[in-house]
């Protein structure tokens, strides 16, 4: 279901309740899928092959592209967290958890408005202490959001198209999520 402008305004009123740094809509045709982003997952990320939310479990970049192209538009949003130290993993994880909670709540807003959603979010899923991949099905598929980059999508490029600045300052973490809608 394609959202009307009136529905978007109603959703915007609900979004005002969240500590969002910025958001915007784009048609899915604006999303690029890059094999080189997947290459970085494969060669540099320790989570590659360890989670249902990461490659290769999410499928090839071509399969991800075909999945996204079955939808109408993309809603991208960012939240910003300030931390004392970028070296403290616990603090970083806590801010990621906050963003993931917001991502689930905003996904539910779109679902309530009648949309089918495909949500992509930050890094590797952190719902369980130990992911079941590849031995058993995902325990919480309703809140397991694949990593944006796992689809070969460069989130900074999308943010630029939506006019959302990417803050690169010590002590500031910008988290992005993408909710794909139809
Ligand atoms: S919800 Fe649990 S089982 Fe599913 S991808 Fe996340 S960590 Fe793995």
| Distance from Cα 13 to the centre of ligand 1, integer Å | 32
pLDDT value for 132:
96
- pTM confidence score: 0.91
Residue-range domain boundaries for the chain:
5-181
Per-residue CA distances from 143 to 57, 111, 126 (Å):
16, 13, 10
Cis peptide before 56, with omega less than 30 degrees from 0? yes
* Residue among 117, 122, 12, 121 at smallest CA distance from 73: 117
* Residue among 166, 72, 167, 172 at smallest CA distance from 118: 72
Per-residue CA distances from 117 to 84, 100, 122, 160 (Å):
35, 15, 16, 22
pLDDT value for 92:
74
Cis peptide before 134, with omega less than 30 degrees from 0? yes
Q: Which atom of ligand 1 is nearest to the CA of 140?
A: 1
Q: Which atom of ligand 1 is nearest to the CA of 132?
A: 3
pLDDT value for 80:
85
- pLDDT per residue over 88-141, tens digit each? 667 777 888 889 999 999 999 999 999 999 999 988 888 899 999 999 999 999
Which of 53, 96, 147 should be mutated for ligand 1, with most atoms under 8 A from CB?
53
pLDDT at 86 over 70: no
User: What's the helix, strand, coil split of the chain in %, to 5?
Assistant: 40, 20, 45
Q: CA 169 to CA 182: how far, in whole Å? A: 35
- DSSP character at residue 151: G
- pLDDT per residue over 12-33, tens digit each? 999 999 989 899 999 999 999 9
Residue 174: which pLDDT band, with cuts at 50, 70 and 90? Answer: confident
- pLDDT per residue over 22-70, tens digit each? 999 999 999 999 999 999 999 999 999 999 999 999 999 999 999 999 9
């Amino acid at each position: 279901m394609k959202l009307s402008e009136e529905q978007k305004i109603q959703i915007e009123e609900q979004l005002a309740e969240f500590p969002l740094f910025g958001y915007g809509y784009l048609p899915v045709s604006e999303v690029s899928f890059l094999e080189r982003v997947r290459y970085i997952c494969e060669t540099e990320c320790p989570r590659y092959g360890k989670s249902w939310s990461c490659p290769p479990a999410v499928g090839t970049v071509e399969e991800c592209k075909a999945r996204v192209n079955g939808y109408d538009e993309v809603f991208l949003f960012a939240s910003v967290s300030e931390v004392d130290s970028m070296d403290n993993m616990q603090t970083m994880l806590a801010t990621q958890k906050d963003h993931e909670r917001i991502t689930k709540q905003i996904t539910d807003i779109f679902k309530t408005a009648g949309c089918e959603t495909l949500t992509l979010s930050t890094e590797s899923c952190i719902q369980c202490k130990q992911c079941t991949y590849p031995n058993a099905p995902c325990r919480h598929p309703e809140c397991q959001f694949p990593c944006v980059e796992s689809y070969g999508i460069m989130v900074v490029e999308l943010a630029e198209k939506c006019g959302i600045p990417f803050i690169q300052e010590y002590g500031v973490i910008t988290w992005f999520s993408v909710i794909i809608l139809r």
